[in-house]
Structure 1
Amino acid sequence: MRLLLVWLGFCLSPVSWALPVLQVAEVAPGVFVHISAHHWPDRENHGEIANIGFIVGDSCVAVIDSGGSPQQGMALRRAVKKVTAKPVCYVINTHVHPDHIYGNSAFKAPGVRFVGHHKLARAMATRGPHYLSKADELLDIRVGPDNIIPPDLQVKESMTLNLGNRELQLTAHPSAHTDNDLSVYDKNTDTLWLADLLFLEHIPVIDGSIRGWLKELERLEKNQYKLVIPGHGRLVRDWPAGLQAHKAYLEQLAAEIRIMLKQGKTLEYAVDHVGLSARQLWRLFEEFHRKNVTIAFAELEWED
């Protein structure tokens, strides 16, 4: 009987029943990031494919993107609790894509403010029903309207959040990766959290404006940052050198599409011929490149 009780005690111990804690690394003082692998979102990875994390101030914590599933959101919340006893006061969604927002419900609690671009709420309302209808089929996750939480703090141009002796400068960008991109700058560590305004290794994905994206990259590369955190890929400690591959890909698409437009080529021709020399440079090229060409072609054929 004693052995049985000991065995039951082990099986029911808090350690054996511990819930998963998202793996994060402190990449600068008080800045914690989970770096994700490069995968197509599917039923194996449940859409948990983006770099997400949090920043700790003296008073409270700001979560930056909550993850690709409610389960990842919960694991991120446990990671915060493992690092600090300070409460979460802000959840900052950098844009509308599911791999950045599906964990929101894990942080819904009194005192928590959700923050986003002033166009984010509209994008959530427009895309939410489609996202939710496909989540079970494509990602094998159960989500409902409660998982898509629009911002109650909307950034029109810029906003400063104080976490207690730690100011975060939020910037609402013009249409680029999407039409609702938000970046976060931590003054204390000279860290710029660019999210999906920057891709490394993983091919950039256009869901907004190729012209706008190039313009934003050209503006950003004039600045110096000690650390830049992309939405997908490794950390950048050699800014602006670290953005050049991303910028070159978009420039190549724009240049080749403009040539084909002048030659009177069709969209179908462009999709089969534009940017193919970049195939070996990017992960997930086959999954996203043709869509990038399609979106860029539709925009550039109307430019003056």
Structure 2
Amino acid sequence: MRSALAFTVAPLVGGVPALANTILSVSEVAPGVFVHQGRYELQSPENRGDMSNASFVIGNAAVAVIDTLGSAKVGRELRAAIKAITDKPIRYVINTHMHPDHVFGNAAFKEDNPQYVGHHKLRRGLEARSQSYMASSKDMLGEDAFAGSEIILPTLNVEDTLTLDLGGRSLLCEAQKTAHTDNDLIITDSKTETAFFGDLLFSGHIPTLDGSLRGWLSLIEQLEGRKAARVVPGHGPHAMQLPGAIMPEKQYWSIVASDVRRLIKDGKDLMEATKTVGQSERANWKMFDQYHVRNVTTAFAELEWE
């Protein structure tokens, strides 16, 4: 994979500018497909909201950005990375779902006047959570890192599927049923068969549940058999291979579901569940202590009404 980035452009190396004073690193995982790998961290002034993966795809006529990170500040660094590699216009900014670490960089692309693309339920999700997302992100990032960040609603909705033409290649956007959230998209590049799963795929970083556990497990069964040259997770390496990439996530959610169902059957309450469910998975995931109890709480609320 070829890496690029920073402001001062040096001579070309392998067809990609070799740059000094790195700002935001990206890797070319397939021809014209670039991915930035975010950190396994909570939001902080130090990371500026750089905690998820962000990608861009360059066509003959235009560029599409897939997720924009967690603040306008780091979003501008992503935009600078794109502009260091190509002068083609940024026509689309696609959000794979509503979470702040994937959408608050949208503001950095306003001057490009792109179409903001999202699941048909993304607008509702962002509008319902806009005040809490703004307040919590500002509190965690601080005034300086969060400056200029805002909620930008989609201008182009994906009801079922939508194809975006970049010139010489197209992106197929597919709206998913409720799983990680109720507004997840999968995007596939026709030219390289690269699939962008967003937070339907976590690797290393523990998955987080803001939708339906049963829905996610059902979707995972479909994704296991999906054909793709490579998949880009929402959190994890730049690119991975199916079906192996999704197996740890499947194991985690299967254990959580099994443990929760057993406790409910035995008449145990949520407090007991948060102490015992899924503890066998602790060593397998980064950020376990930060997110696992929340996952169990959400799973318990869903499964107790089966």
TM-score by length of 2: 0.90
**For residues 1-304 of structure 1, what are the structure 2 equivalents within 5 Å?**
21-109=23-111, 111-140=113-142, 141-143=145-147, 147-303=150-306
Which structure dedicates a bigger proportion of its chain to strand? Answer: 2
Q: Unpaired segments of 5 or more residues in structure 2? A: 1-6, 9-19
Separation in 1, partners of 2:71, 2:88: 24
Identity of aligned residues (%): 46
Separation in 2, partners of 1:143, 1:176: 32
TM-score by length of 1: 0.91
User: Which residue identity lines up with residue 100 of structure 2 in the other structure?
Assistant: P
Asked if the contact 1:132–1:143 (Cα under 8 Å) also holds between the matched residues in 2, the reply is: no
Deviation at 1:236, TM superposition (A): 4.3
Deviation at 1:42, TM superposition (A): 2.3
Deviation at 1:142, TM superposition (A): 3.1
Query: 1:3 maps to which residue?
Result: none
Separation in 2, partners of 1:281, 1:110: 41
Query: 1:5 maps to which residue?
Result: none
Separation in 1, partners of 2:135, 2:288: 26
Deviation at 1:48, TM superposition (A): 1.2
Which has the larger displacement, 20-29 or 116-125?
Answer: 20-29
Deviation at 1:111, TM superposition (A): 4.3
Cα deviation 1:97-146 (Å, max 9, x = unaligned): 111111111111354100001111111111111111223321113356x7
Query: 1:4 maps to which residue?
Result: none
Q: Give the total of aligned pairs.
A: 287
Asked if the contact 2:91–2:112 (Cα under 8 Å) also holds between the matched residues in 1, the reply is: no
What SS does the corresponding residue of 1:292 show, helix, strand or coil?
Answer: helix
What SS does the corresponding residue of 2:76 show, helix, strand or coil?
Answer: helix
Q: Unpaired segments of 5 or more residues in structure 1? A: 1-13
